[in-house]
Amino acid sequence: MINDNDPSTLSTSGRLLSYNDAVKEGLKTGEKFTDLMDQLINTKDPKVLLEAAEALSVFELDSDYVTFPHQYNNADYYLIFMSRLLELHDKGEAITLQSHEGDQHLTQSLSALGDLASFAFTAANDSTGGVYYQDQVTNETVFYLNLKRQIMRFNSSAITTLFIETYADKIDSDHLLSATDLLIAFGQSLKTDFGFDVDFNLLDTSNNEFYAFKTSNLASGIVDKLFVAAASEDYMLKHDKDGAVLELTPDVTLKIASHNSTGAAAWGLYVQDSKQEVSWFKILLQYPFLRHWYLDDLADLQIQSDNLVF
């Protein structure tokens, strides 16, 4: 008896027809893949770009009868998506994609960092399609991205390690700011184009941003160190009912607070300026005495990141 669902019971011609149909289906899958790639590479519509990236990030190209030996991994399509979205916002010249044919994957370079760094996305293994944007030299995770959940989270630890410690003595601050501004631009594009929930962490320039310290019970000696460090640079750290205040310029004020914006007990800081253009990260680059104070007690002062993704 011939069972259409069991090729071994088919006649010779039946088995050949079954094989041919399977090949056709495999080739159709390949055509669908190339259509999506055309969209990812050529579209000017951010919505179409996001849809193509989402589809490709979970796309299974190979089938039982048709395999494609040269293909990128799923996380690489996030990298193409990032590059293309920045390109749509007139920032494409600030990045370069490199194809590594040996193990068939993509990496991305930021022009401002020269040859010091190379980045790629790796799967976060969180079952929802999340990925980590990682430096390929140090494996530091700069941010987490999830197209399905539409969230992006910056990692203060990696930004501190890379841009405040590792690169600060090798690249001038203007180039470091250019590199981080590009990452911020990507996050802003995700917000404005698609409504993503983005946490910029210590890169946030909003006056309302509370940069929460890792420790919830800051030792008085750490604040005392800042009094001394500020005085040595002719700045005056003043006691405040909720912590301390340091006026860096007539328009930029640093506030160390023992409570967050909701009034809950939590040590951290605010950076306030009239144009809301200054972040804690920018201050760390601009003021060496604050950078040294922050790094000396980083175990306590590290700005918290989303512990659900890092």
Full set of structural domains in the chain with CATH: 7-68 (no CATH), 78-203 (no CATH), 211-301 (3.30.310)
CA-nearest of 28, 102, 107, 43 to 75 is 107
Backbone torsions φ then ψ of 161, nearest 5 degrees:
-60, -45
* pLDDT at residue 269 in the model: 96
* pLDDT at residue 174 in the model: 95
pLDDT in tens, the chain (310 residues): 345 555 555 667 777 888 888 888 888 888 898 999 999 999 999 999 999 999 999 888 888 878 877 778 889 999 999 999 999 999 999 999 998 876 668 999 999 999 889 999 999 988 888 999 999 999 999 999 999 999 999 999 999 999 999 998 899 999 999 999 999 999 999 999 999 999 999 999 999 999 999 998 899 899 999 999 999 999 999 988 889 999 999 999 999 999 888 888 889 999 999 999 999 999 999 999 999 999 999 999 999 999 989 9
Residue appearing with tokens 């980083």: 298
* pLDDT at residue 10 in the model: 60
Dig out the tokens for 123 from the structure: 């799967």
Calculate Rg over the CA atoms of the chain: 25
Backbone torsions φ then ψ of 265, nearest 5 degrees:
-65, 120
Tell me how many degrees the CA angle 250-253-259 measures, rounded to the nearest 5.
155
How far is it, in rounded angstroms, from Cα 4 to Cα 2? 6
Q: What are residue 106's DSSP bridge partners? A: 99
| E-only strand ranges, the chain | 95-100, 105-110, 119-123, 131-135, 141-146, 151-154, 197-199, 211-212, 237-240, 243-249, 252-259, 265-273
* pLDDT at residue 63 in the model: 83
Q: What pTM was estimated for this model as a whole?
A: 0.90
How far is it, in rounded angstroms, from Cα 79 to Cα 222? 41
C-alpha dist (Å) from residue 116 to 95, 103, 169:
14, 21, 12
Q: Is 90 left (phi over 0), alpha (psi -120 to 50) or beta?
A: left
Q: What letter does residue 93 receive in the DSSP assignment?
A: G
- Residue type (1 letter), 108: Q
- Going by C-beta distance under 8 Å and a sequence separation of 6 or more, which residues neighbour residue 64? 22, 26
Q: What are residue 238's DSSP bridge partners? A: 245
CA-nearest of 104, 101, 97, 99 to 83 is 97
Helix axes 12-42, 46-57, angle to 10 degrees: 140
CA-nearest of 90, 76, 93, 84 to 45 is 84
Backbone torsions φ then ψ of 307, nearest 5 degrees:
-75, 0
* pLDDT at residue 154 in the model: 98
Are 193 and 185 in contact by the 8 Å Cβ rule? The answer is no
